[in-house]
A and B are shown apart, each in its own frame.
Chain A
Amino acid sequence: MKPRTMFEKIWDQHVVEQKEGKPAIIYIDLHLVHEVTSPQAFEGLRLAGRKLRRPDLTMAVMDHNVPTTDRSLPIQDPIAKKQIDTLAKNCKDFGVTLFDLHSPKQGIVHVVGPELGLTLPGKTIVCGDSHTSTHGAFGALAFGIGTSEVEHVMATQCLQQHKPKTMEVHFKGSLQPGVTAKDAILALIAQIGTAGATGYVIEYTGEAIRSMSMEERMTICNMSIEAGARAGLIAPDETTFAYLEGRPYAPKGELFKQAVEDWKKLATDEGAEFDARVVVDLDQVAPQVTWGTSPGMGMAITDTIPDPNSFATETEQQAAKLALEYMGLKAGQSMTEVKVDRVFIGSCTNSRIEDLRAAARVAQGYQVAPHVQALVVPGSQQVKKQAEEEGLDQIFKEAGFEWREAGCSMCLGMNPDILSPGERCASTSNRNFEGRQGRGGRTHLVSPEMAAAAAIKGHFVDVRKWQFKQKGGKSYATV
Chain B
Amino acid sequence: MQPFKQHTGVVAPLDRANVDTDAIIPKQFLKRIERSGFGQFLFYDWRFEEDGKPNPSFVLNQDPYNQATILLARENFGCGSSREHAPWALLDFGFRAIIAPSFADIFYNNCFKNGILPIRLTEEQVAELFERTYQTQGYPLTIDLEQQVVTDTNGLRFSFEVDEYRRYCLLNGLDDIGITLQSEAAIAAYEQKRPLYYENR
Contacts and interface: CB of A to CB of B under 8 A. Distances in A.
A264 interface: no
A249 B200 contact: yes
Interface stretch (B56-64, B90-98, B149-157, B176-184): B176-184
A37 B32 CA distance: 10
Contacts of B198: 29, 120, 123
B133 interface: no
Nearest to B32: A79
Contacts of B32: 79, 83
Contacts of A48: 177
Interface in B56-106: 74-76, 79-84, 87, 102, 104-106
B24 to A, nearest CB: 10
Nearest to A418: B28
B17 A158 contact: no
A22 B109 CA distance: 15
B113 A149 contact: yes
Contacts of B124: none
Contacts of B81: 129-130, 144, 431
A158 B180 contact: yes
Contact of A228 (B15, B22, B45, B79): B79
Interface in B145-201: 163-165, 176-177, 179-181, 183, 186-187, 190-191, 194-201
Interface residues of B, number: 58
Interface in A291-320: 294, 315-316, 318-319
A324 B18 CA distance: 15
Contacts of B76: 194-195, 198, 228
A435 interface: yes
B114 interface: yes
A322 B190 contact: no
Contacts of B201: 56
**Which of A77, A123, A439 counts the most B-chain CB atoms under 10 A from its CB?**
A439
A68 to B, nearest CB: 15
A294 B18 contact: yes
Interface string A402-428: 000000000011100000010000000
Nearest to A15: B190
B45 A434 contact: yes
A21 B196 CA distance: 32
A92 interface: no
B16 interface: yes
Contacts of B199: 56
Given A56-B200, A315-B74, A439-B45, A195 B183 contact: no
A414 to B, nearest CB: 5
Q: Which of A29, A160, A228 has the most CB of B within 10 A?
A: A160
Interface residues of A, number: 77
Interface string B8-52: 000000011110101100111011111100000000010000100
Nearest to A17: B186
Interface of A: 16-17, 21-23, 25, 27, 29-30, 36-37, 39-40, 43, 48, 50, 56-57, 59, 64-65, 77, 79-80, 82-83, 86, 118, 120, 123, 128-130, 144-149, 151-152, 155-158, 160, 162, 194-195, 198-199, 228, 230, 249, 251, 255-256, 258-259, 262, 294, 315-316, 318-319, 322, 412-414, 421, 431, 433-436, 439-440
Q: Give the 7 A-B CB pairs with smallest separation, nearest first.
A: A148-B113, A39-B33, A146-B84, A146-B110, A251-B197, A144-B82, A147-B84
Given A22-B165, A155-B177, A162-B163, 10 more contacts: A30-B200, A59-B200, A118-B200, A160-B179, A160-B180, A198-B102, A198-B104, A414-B27, A421-B50, A436-B22
Interface of B: 15-18, 20, 22-23, 26-28, 30-35, 45, 50, 74-76, 79-84, 87, 102, 104-106, 109-110, 113-114, 123, 163-165, 176-177, 179-181, 183, 186-187, 190-191, 194-201
